[in-house]
Structure 1
Amino acid sequence: MRILIAEDETIIRLDLRALLEQAGFEVCAEARDGEEAVALAASSEPDLALLDVKMPKLDGIDAARRILDERPIPIVMVTAYGEEELVSRAVEAGVFGYLVKPFRETDLLPAIATARARHEELAALREEVDTLAEALAARKAIERAKGLLMEREGLTEQEAFARLRKASQISGRPLKVVADALVATLTT
């Protein structure tokens, strides 16, 4: 797994790099401020990012928000500040973990594993939502087309559906495409 580290304190950044590399991760980029983190996230395409909250130019939470706008990846905030307001902002931005310094390897590795797992679950849920939304849109289009056929041609619901299905089979196009075309034709 490729990891981006964004930490303005050099010693902590080097410690993080050593911990991650010892654990078998690849550190693909290191940033000293939030703006550099955003740029490096775009150019190095990490699988996960560790961001300090308080950094020059752009804080880690705003950097996380920008990174996630470009490409959703799991992000773990690493900070010396555990104030509720900062944690709330981080959660609102969409980060998947929050570690308060000082931390040990036994804290960091589970935070990374948890962030990855939560990110994968969210990606699966988003995919499922997209699939369900597409199915619902298809269902609405087919129902509308059936209704128009029933009204205009005096067909039963079964006859209207059979006609749509036959048109789909003959044309080799999905039922939704045929339904959309029929609706467009009959409503103009």
Structure 2
Amino acid sequence: MVEQDRDRALLIVDSLREAGDYDIHVIGEQTGLARRISERDPDIVLIDIANPSRDTLEELTLASSPLDRPVAMFVDRSEAGLTKAAIEAGVSAYVVDGLRAERLKPVIDAAVTRFHVFRQMRTELAATRRALEERKVIDRAKGLLMKARGIDEGEAYALLRRTAMDQGRRVADVAEALVTAAGLLS
């Protein structure tokens, strides 16, 4: 948890202990925040800040590695656009009107759930992009084989697949090698 005010930090720690069995570490100084968070490798980062500026928000968000773990940020008040900026930066929960003990557990649960949903979406998107790029390379390789050997698309794909099996490689890898070699030869 990132909290500069000692009394407020103690209040939050007490609230967290009431809400569940958590191993809590309070970071009171923003200097070296990224390193400290990295060393602790927490399951979730809670940030409590009275009135964030855009620069403070960006600094805290980058330091807390929101793509690696859920980040819940509690602010007393927020300027227009900061909520959007926080969410776009990867903050899992951005709660305006401060941190209250009774809503701490639901906010943590929501932040963790939202983080996992978005991580799954990022993983699926990356896999889809990879598959699309592989498909494009395979299509280019088939085109090269069709032109060079005077064969149709089905025969070109069968040749790629047979070569991949013979070499113990993926079709996309064989296609990439063929496209690269053709590029060097032309």
Report the TM range for the smaller structure's normalisation: 0.7 to 0.9
**In structure 2, the residue corresponding to 1:146 is in which secondary structure?**
helix
Q: Give how far 1:36 is off.
A: 4.5
> 1:140 — aligned with what?
136
**In structure 1, the residue corresponding to 2:69 is in which secondary structure?**
coil
1:46 aligns with 2:42: yes
Greater CA deviation, 36-45 or 145-154?
Answer: 36-45
> 1:181 — aligned with what?
177
- State whether residues 60 and 77 of structure 1, in contact with CA within 8 Å, keep that contact through their aligned partners in structure 2: no
Distance 1:158 1:88 in 2: 49
More strand by share: 1
Please report the TM-score for the alignment, with normalisation by the length of structure 2.
Answer: 0.86
- State whether residues 35 and 63 of structure 1, in contact with CA within 8 Å, keep that contact through their aligned partners in structure 2: no
- State whether residues 34 and 60 of structure 1, in contact with CA within 8 Å, keep that contact through their aligned partners in structure 2: no
The count of corresponding residues between Structure 1 and Structure 2 is 182
> 1:155 — aligned with what?
151
> 2:119 — aligned with what?
123
Q: Give how far 1:109 is off.
A: 1.2
Please report the TM-score for the alignment, with normalisation by the length of structure 1.
Answer: 0.85
Deviations 1:132-187 (A, max 9, x none): 11211211111111100111111111111111111111111100111111222233
Q: Give how far 1:61 is off.
A: 4.4
Bigger relative CO (Cα 8 Å, ≥ 6 apart): 2
- State whether residues 19 and 104 of structure 2, in contact with CA within 8 Å, keep that contact through their aligned partners in structure 1: no
> 2:28 — aligned with what?
32
Q: 1:63 aligns with which of 60, 65, 74?
A: 60
One-letter amino acid matched to 1:113? D
**In structure 2, the residue corresponding to 1:132 is in which secondary structure?**
helix
Dislocated runs of 4+, deviation >6 Å: none
Give 5+ residue unaligned stretches, structure 2: none
1:136–1:100: structure 2 CA closer, same or farther, 3 Å change rule?
Answer: closer
> 2:70 — aligned with what?
74
1:37–1:54: structure 2 CA closer, same or farther, 3 Å change rule?
Answer: farther
1:98–1:75: structure 2 CA closer, same or farther, 3 Å change rule?
Answer: same
1:183–1:59: structure 2 CA closer, same or farther, 3 Å change rule?
Answer: closer
Distance 1:61 1:91 in 2: 11
- State whether residues 74 and 99 of structure 2, in contact with CA within 8 Å, keep that contact through their aligned partners in structure 1: no
1:18 aligns with 2:14: yes
Distance 2:48 2:148 in 1: 64
Distance 2:133 2:166 in 1: 22
Greater CA deviation, 31-40 or 146-155?
Answer: 31-40
Greater CA deviation, 140-149 or 36-45?
Answer: 36-45
Distance 1:166 1:85 in 2: 55
